[in-house]
Amino acid sequence: MAHVHSPVLLGVLERARRLGVLGPGPVDDHVTHAERFVTALADLSPDSLVVDLGSGAGIPGLVVAEARPDLRVTLLESLERRAALLAEGIAELGWATRVSVLHDRAEDVGRDPDWRGRVDAVTARSFGPPATTAECAAPLLRIGGLLVVSEPPGGSSRWPAEGLTALGMVVAGAVGGVQVLRQAEACPDDFPRRVGLPAKRPLF
């Protein structure tokens, strides 16, 4: 049964779409896609910490936060204008006690002791290619933590075991159109590399 979404949330996302922050197509389609992430995170315990990489308009982060008010959600966004728009949306929704915006680069956050190895799940909808996404997520995740990523049909070959092993990650399987990876061991101190390198020189 489809979740009934708050008109305020839909309004926040509609505004983002008008401003060109959310991709083309109806807001409802973006929200429906984001619900796949909610399903993949169903086993997360209350008070778990979720970081949405490159959150943009807040998809899937805001949809996860709406469906799971028991979670703490941080929307990580490197572009100042988008981060400001996310902060406005959170205030409008009244979620400031459990949802926050972090205006920073993922590579820098992954080096921050306050964040490194402390996150229960990372979500990424259109953050970047697999290698970039994995390298930016792995340092954040605790051992056993999950990375949930949008996956095109037949895309499982995009996650080679050898490349993931270097980051301490393993493929956990696909769930309804999203790929789930697990942090099997702590990410080595070599990662993430400095800002820009994960994209310029992908590990796989």
Residue 151: band (very low, low, confident or very high) from pLDDT cuts 50, 70, 90:
confident
- With a pLDDT cut of 70, the percent of the chain lying above it is 97
How much is the average pLDDT of 183-196? 98
pLDDT at 2 over 60: no
pLDDT at 1 over 60: no
Please report the pLDDT score of residue 153 as a whole number: 66
Q: What domains, with CATH codes, occur in the chain?
A: 7-200 (3.40.50.150)
Q: What is the largest CA-CA distance in the chain?
A: 45
Please report the pLDDT score of residue 154 as a whole number: 61
How much is the average pLDDT of 73-91? 97
d(CA 149, CA 22): 17
Please report the pLDDT score of residue 46 as a whole number: 98
- Run of H or E residues at 137: helix 130-137
Report helix angle 27-40 to 7-18, nearest 10: 120
How much is the average pLDDT of 51-77? 98
- With a pLDDT cut of 90, the percent of the chain lying above it is 90
Beta strands per DSSP E along the chain: 49-53, 72-77, 99-103, 119-124, 141-150, 169-175, 178-183
Ranking 113-117, 167-171, 173-177 by mean pLDDT, the lowest is 173-177
d(CA 42, CA 50): 12
Q: List pLDDT tens digits, range 155-165.
A: 557 899 999 99
Ranking 2-16, 37-51, 129-143, 180-194 by mean pLDDT, the lowest is 2-16
